[in-house]
């Protein structure tokens, strides 16, 4: 692909998610590369907007096609910290709720718009716990939209893990995080839950088994809202 940035011979695969591989460029920078064709321009724009308002995101240095060069963050994901016993799941829930609230309180980008900035994939794998506090990564789905959709998606994703639909080392223990999250989360976590379920069903990263159990995850979220 012509628009890919060169990876220096010294770089090593550093981490990988469902959609991207991350390479260490040097101590201060990583290269995140989507495995399938994607354009990071929109994502980089939202990240820069959030950063300009003091929201915790990695600084973006370059975005070209599937590649993004950004600030290297030091620290575990929220999920890793919880698994290591360094972060209580309830405290993780407080952090997630706070990160969503702060995001939804940013000024809307379009004048007169009632939409806010939404991430639409804010869960414990997409938060890194750093010295400057929790920092949000993986802005692929981010854009302008209703905050309640974002809150519903976070709840739904956590519920998918809680019911065992998405396999994750935290497993059913994440139940405690979900209930606390539902208590603290900004907005109304069920108002747009059906839209969140539809959005989730349409995601290419979801397996047929995961899609088949979305309804059960929706029911788990509803059961957690008092």
Ligand X SMILES: Nc1ncnc2c1ncn2[C@@H]1O[C@H](COP(=O)(O)OP(=O)(O)O)[C@@H](O)[C@H]1O
The residue among 23 and 181 lying less far from ligand X, judged by its C-beta, is 23
Q: Of these, 49, 51, 55, 72, which contacts ligand X (CB under 6 A)? A: 72
Q: Of these, 40, 77, 116, 126, which contacts Mg ion (CB under 5 A)? A: 126
Q: Does 19 bind ligand X (CB under 6 A)?
A: yes
Shortest spacing between CB 191 and ligand X, in angstroms: 27
**Which whole-number Å values give the CA distances from 72 to 11, 35, 56, in the listed order?**
13, 20, 13
Q: Does 17 bind Mg ion (CB under 5 A)?
A: yes
The residue range among 58-66, 109-117, 135-143, 173-181 that interacts with Mg ion, by the rule CB under 5 A, is 135-143
- To the nearest 10 degrees (0 to 180), the angle between helices 214-224 and 175-184 is 60
Q: Does 20 bind ligand X (CB under 6 A)?
A: yes
Question: Of 114, 88, 222, 94, which is closest to residue 163 (Cα–Cα)?
Answer: 222
Question: Of 137, 133, 135, 139, which is closest to residue 118 (Cα–Cα)?
Answer: 139
| Residue 58 partner contact from Mg ion, ligand X, none using kind-dependent CB cut-offs of 5 to 8 Å | ligand X
Question: Of 102, 135, 134, 140, which is closest to residue 120 (Cα–Cα)?
Answer: 140
- Which SS3 state, helix, strand or coil, does residue 140 take? coil
The residue among 67 and 125 lying less far from ligand X, judged by its C-beta, is 125
Residue 160 and residue 166 in contact, taking contact as beta carbons nearer than 8 Å? yes
Q: Of these, 138, 148, 150, 179, which contacts Mg ion (CB under 5 A)? A: 138
Cα–Cα–Cα angle for 94, 95, 101, nearest 5°? Answer: 90
Q: Does 40 bind Mg ion (CB under 5 A)?
A: no
Shortest spacing between CB 107 and Mg ion, in angstroms: 26
Task: Report the distance separating Cα 72 and Cα 24, nearest Å.
Answer: 8
**Number of residues engaging ligand X in binding (CB under 6 A):** 19
Catalog residues that contact ligand X under the rule CB under 6 A.
Answer: 15, 17-20, 22, 30, 32, 58, 70-73, 77, 125-126, 137-138, 140
Catalog residues that contact Mg ion under the rule CB under 5 A.
Answer: 17, 126, 138
């Amino acid at each position: 692909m012509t628009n890919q940035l060169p990876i220096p011979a010294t770089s090593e695969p550093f981490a990988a998610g469902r959609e991207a591989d991350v390479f260490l460029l040097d101590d201060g920078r990583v290269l995140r590369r989507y495995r399938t064709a994607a354009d990071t321009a929109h994502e980089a724009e939202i990240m820069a907007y959030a950063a300009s308002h003091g929201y915790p995101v990695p600084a973006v240095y370059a975005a070209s096609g599937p590649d993004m060069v950004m600030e290297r963050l030091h620290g575990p994901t929220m999920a890793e910290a919880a698994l290591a016993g360094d972060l209580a799941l309830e405290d993780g829930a407080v952090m997630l709720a706070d990160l969503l609230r702060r995001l939804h309180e940013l000024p809307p980008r379009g004048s007169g718009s009632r939409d806010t900035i939404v991430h639409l994939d804010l869960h414990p794998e997409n938060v890194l716990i750093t010295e400057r506090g929790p920092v949000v990564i993986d802005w692929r789905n981010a854009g302008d939209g209703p905050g309640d959709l974002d809150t519903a998606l976070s709840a739904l994703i956590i519920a998918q893990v809680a019911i065992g639909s998405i396999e994750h080392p935290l497993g059913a223990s994440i139940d405690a995080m979900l209930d606390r999250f539902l208590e603290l989360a900004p907005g109304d976590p069920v108002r747009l839950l059906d839209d969140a379920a539809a959005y989730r069903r349409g995601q290419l990263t979801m397996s047929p088994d995961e899609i088949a159990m979305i309804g059960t995850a929706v029911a788990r979220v509803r059961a957690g809202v008092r």
